[in-house]
Amino acid sequence: MTILTLLLYVSLTAFLLYLLQLNLRTRHSKRLPPGPTPWPILGNLPHLGTIPHHSLAALAAKYGPLMHLRFGFVDVVVASSASVAAQFLKTHDANFASRPPNSGAKHLAYDYHDLVFAPYGPRWRMLRKICSVHLFSAKALDDFRHVRQEEVAILTRALASAGNSTVKLGQLLNVCTTNALARVMLGRRVFGDGSGGGDPKADEFKDMVVEMMVLAGEFNIGDFIPGLDWLDLQGITKKMKKIHTQFDSFLTTIVEEHKTSNKGARAGGHGDLLSTLIALQDDADEEGGKLSDIEIKALLLNLFVAGTDTSSSTVEWAIAELIRHPQLLKQAQDEIDKVVGRDRLVTESDLGQLTLLQAIVKETFRLHPSTPLSLPRIASEGCEVDGYYIPQGSTLLVNVWAIARDPKMWTDPLEFRPTRFLPGGEKADADVKGNDFEVIPFGAGRRICVGINLGLRMVQLLVATLVQNFDWELANGLQPEKLNMNEAFGLTLQRAEPLMIRPKPRLAPHVYGSG
């Protein structure tokens, strides 16, 4: 195909698509939610900017908490208030229980064979049931409590032995959360402890996870203008295929090693998840059928990606906020000293007594939600929300970040103020488990994050441990008020700059144990 022929083809395609778009604009006779005027062909995609949850929040301030946009030829509705989100995720939850077609699900998540992007139905229910029973049930979480505590203790020793060295906290946290999850999923750790200059494999793994999250969070033009998908104008599809190949190789090796092993891997006497999944391949679920190797790898991919970086990035944000609020850090240390003492490490069983610590974690989830824009959902049928018509096939985005900063719901919403969640505070009774729509970092409704209870336990334990065991200094003599708190957009909320700090042990050496 010559360049001239290609240009003619693209021009003709664009013209036809433009005519189609004009037709679509007049398609809805019913009243749509307000929103900015779309551009020809691209629709409102140019309005998204480099950090979409910020741009959409700014648009909501002008057009209201329920907006209608067009991304290419796709109707998109954005919920930016707790009351509107509740209508979508509670009142109309069943209608918005599936995901729209997207390149991330196709090229990253084994073509919708995973739990996160699978269509709502028997296969999805089967995968969710497996996770709920074998990994995230109260019994499973209690059975593997020792694994989390052992991995956090290893992290603590690594930090205590850092001396005057500067550490990249996020990377060490990622090693800890990945190893804790891997021991439950695979029966073994996958990385070293991050001490002695770090583990290159761990750095590579975190980079892979972050890149996958960034790519999954991109708005790919081909998803919204199908006629341009083959051109891959942003190069996103190419990058997705490359990172998927890397992850697939990693997961295939793990699965094959497990299958050829004479003994199922064990973690503290309990069968690991992968051994259970392989065993379940012989059993057919009455609704979902049999588990395939692809579904097993897709499920492992979900757990590794969604269960590691989300927790570690949240803890990194929490410590950054406490460094900027030294009085609050001191109060949290005093609370832990009073409940736990200074002669042992804090454990999960202590967390229920640490009221301020729990409030700090809630406030971190509010101000820095790990998923600032909810994973998209699709309207199976047309419906009415807030007096407006929502067309069938519309993509729903919930701006979790904007909702948690809504000045109509929160006093001084931009301030890090955990006291709002303490007894007597304005949100003392609010939780983060999907029941209170003004703070829904894990989502809500049928497709709420299946790992919410594990995520809460891990984040609380890590924050409590870091608060109990260390004072913190910023690298290069940087003053706390100068700490960069900017965000980098991806599917998860990363810091624009990693937190570089020097840990200063505050307890007796024997508490940290031997290396």
* Mean pLDDT for the chain overall: 89
Query: Is 10 among the domain residues?
Result: no
Cβ–Cβ under 8 Å, residues 464 and 156: no
Sign of CA dihedral 179, 115, 400, 40: positive
Instruction: Give the CA distances from residue 7 to residues 42, 129, 319, in Å, rounded to whole numbers and listed in that order.
Output: 18, 50, 52
Query: Is 19 among the domain residues?
Result: no
Residue 98 bridge partners (DSSP): 378
Query: Is 12 among the domain residues?
Result: no
CA distance 117 to 111: 9
Helix axes 169-185, 452-469, angle to 10 degrees: 130
DSSP string, 100-156: PP-HHHHHTTTTTTSSSSSPSSHHHHHHHHHHHHHTSSHHHHHHTHHHHHHHHHHHH
CA distance 226 to 316: 39
Q: Please report, to the nearest 10 degrees, the dihedral formed by the alpha carbons of residues 60, 92, 387, 72 taken in order.
A: 50
CATH value at residue 236:
1.10.630.10
Which residues sit in the known binding site?
A: 449
Which residues sit in the known binding site for heme?
A: 449
Task: Report the share of the chain in percent with pLDDT over 90.
Answer: 74
Closest CA to 223 of 234, 239, 211, 208: 234
Q: 94-109 pLDDT, tens per residue? A: 999 999 999 999 999 9
Instruction: Give the CA distances from residue 438 to residues 39, 138, 403, 429, 508, in Å, rounded to whole numbers and listed in that order.
Output: 32, 26, 6, 12, 42
**CA neighbours closer than 13 Å in the CB half-sphere of residue 322:** 28
**CA neighbours closer than 13 Å in the CB half-sphere of residue 77:** 28
Query: Is 307 among the domain residues?
Result: yes
State how many domains the chain has: 1
Q: 56-83 pLDDT, tens per residue? A: 999 999 999 999 999 999 999 999 999 9
φ, ψ at 166 (rounded to 5°): -90, 135
Confidence grade of residue 262 (pLDDT, cut at 50, 70, 90): very low
φ, ψ at 196 (rounded to 5°): 65, 40
Query: Is 15 among the domain residues?
Result: no
In whole angstroms, how large is the CA radius of gyration of the chain? 24
In terms of residue numbers, what domain contains 194? 31-512
Tokens at 14, concatenated: 């664009």
Query: Is 25 among the domain residues?
Result: no
By CB atoms closer than 10 A (0-12, 13-18, 19+), residue 119 is: middle
CA distance 54 to 341: 42
pTM of the model: 0.90
Mean pLDDT (whole number) for 367-372: 95
Q: What's the pLDDT score for residue 287?
A: 60
Confidence grade of residue 203 (pLDDT, cut at 50, 70, 90): confident
Task: For the chain, give the number of residues.
Answer: 515
Query: Is 21 among the domain residues?
Result: no
CA distance 485 to 499: 9
Q: What's the pLDDT score for residue 245?
A: 95
